[in-house]
Amino acid sequence: MKFHYLKHFIKHYFTATLIDVLHSPFVFTLYQTCIKKQKDLTAFNEIENIRSQLLENKSIITYTDLGAGSNLLSKNIEKSISQLAKAHLKPARIAQIIHCIVLNYKYRNVIELGTSLGVTSSYIASALKQNFESNEVNFTTIEGSSAIKQIANEQFTSLKLSDYINSVEGNFNEQLEPVLNSYKNVDVFFVDGNHTYEATMKYFEKALPFAHNDSVFIFDDIYWSSGMTKAWEEIKQHSKVHQTVDLFFIGLVYFRTEQIRQHFKLRVI
Ligand SMILES: C[S@@+](CC[C@H](N)C(=O)[O-])C[C@H]1O[C@@H](n2cnc3c(N)ncnc32)[C@H](O)[C@@H]1O
């Protein structure tokens, strides 16, 4: 897994498109507004303080892992919150790109698979809160572990974001369908858990009928394993997918039929 990741990281670094040769007005604007490093990060101080507290929290929690590496030994795992935060949380830079996409494109119907400690969920909810009242949005985040979800909910309360987040507990395999059926369509579908080829393809196919022309699907860790990279390559080739933007850490999938089919690789570091 590590070799696969490193090999693709180096490849991405040398093959990513430079922005001045980008021949897509849509992706150029996306880069300028959201992907390029933002200068003023003060708006994110509160959430980043929460991240720092989680990273220092040595309290032990017991939880069940339903993700990619899970097996019988994945029941009743004991870890400190700090260890969990180190392993699970998306880097601030990536969470800020997701925040910016939700904010700038005024998305309001969002689903996240994999709440963990709630840091990226908080970035998403704070973008929704900047644009809308809580009754104008529908943001559901699903987490399989009750102990982890409880900690996330504490963060949502302290950030005054609870009204913007519908936090669902359960296995994605069981919860995704009823959650999707409670939506007319989905603007942002963010898959950040259970990183296997089979699960990723299954979640993509289930969510696809809920996508509209301007939706974006976001897949985390597309180079985490050969299975994830295989899923990413297949998603790119799907007939409904018109543009993709590969940021190495995450992949963005667009369905905009007014544009020709194009696949971009952009550097975020
Ligand atoms: C990488 S973490 C999510 C990180 C979070 N989105 C963030 O950026 O702050 C993945 C989470 O998905 C959960 N998870 C993995 N597989 C799952 C499944 N099949 N059903 C429910 N939850 C699952 C794990 O418990 C874990 O908390």
At position 105, the amino acid (one-letter code) is Y
* Residue in 115, 142, 167, 203 to alter for ligand 1 test, most ligand atoms within 8 A of Cβ: 115
Residue nearest to atom 16 of ligand 1 (CA): 67
Please tell me the distance between residue 19's alpha carbon and the centre of ligand 1 in angstroms: 32
For 189-222, write each residue's pLDDT tens digit. Answer: 999 999 999 999 999 999 999 999 999 999 999 9
Residue nearest to atom 20 of ligand 1 (CA): 171
For 131-166, write each residue's pLDDT tens digit. Answer: 999 999 999 999 999 999 999 999 999 999 999 999
Q: Which residues contact 183 (CB under 8 A, 6 or more apart)?
A: 109, 111, 138, 210
| Atom of ligand 1 minimally distant from the CA of 172 | 20
Query: Whose structure tokens read 């880097």?
Result: 91
Q: Which of 146, 182, 139 is nearest to 163 (CA)?
A: 139
Please tell me the distance between residue 15's alpha carbon and the centre of ligand 1 in angstroms: 30
Work out whether the CA dihedral 28, 189, 90, 122 comes out positive or negative.
positive
* Residue in 75, 112, 143, 161 to alter for ligand 1 test, most ligand atoms within 8 A of Cβ: 143
Q: What pLDDT does 18 receive?
A: 59
| Atom of ligand 1 minimally distant from the CA of 116 | 27
List all residues whose CB is within 6 A of at least one atom of ligand 1: 65-67, 88-90, 114, 116, 119-120, 142-145, 148, 171-173, 192-194
Task: Tell whether the model's pLDDT for residue 116 goes beyond 70.
Answer: yes
Q: What tokens appear for 67 in the block?
A: 């993700």
Q: What pLDDT does 155 receive?
A: 97
Q: What percentage of the chain carries pLDDT values higher than 90?
A: 80
Q: Are strands 188-191 and 216-220 parallel, antiparallel or unpaired?
A: parallel
Q: What percentage of the chain carries pLDDT values higher than 70?
A: 94
For 39-50, write each residue's pLDDT tens digit. Answer: 788 989 999 999
Please tell me the distance between residue 14's alpha carbon and the centre of ligand 1 in angstroms: 31
Which of the given ranges, 5-14, 35-44, 71-80, 252-261, has the highest pLDDT on average? 252-261
CA angle centred on 261, ends 257 and 267, rounded to 5°? 115
Q: What pLDDT does 72 receive?
A: 53
Report the DSSP beta bridge partners of residue 251. 219, 246
Q: Domains in the chain, ordered, with CATH?
A: 2-265 (3.40.50.150)
Q: What tokens appear for 64 in the block?
A: 């069940």
Please tell me the distance between residue 81's alpha carbon and the centre of ligand 1 in angstroms: 14
For 7-26, write each residue's pLDDT tens digit. Answer: 888 888 777 765 655 778 99
Please tell me the distance between residue 261's alpha carbon and the centre of ligand 1 in angstroms: 31
At position 155, the amino acid (one-letter code) is Q
Please tell me the distance between residue 142's alpha carbon and the centre of ligand 1 in angstroms: 8
Task: Tell whether the model's pLDDT for residue 95 goes beyond 90.
Answer: yes
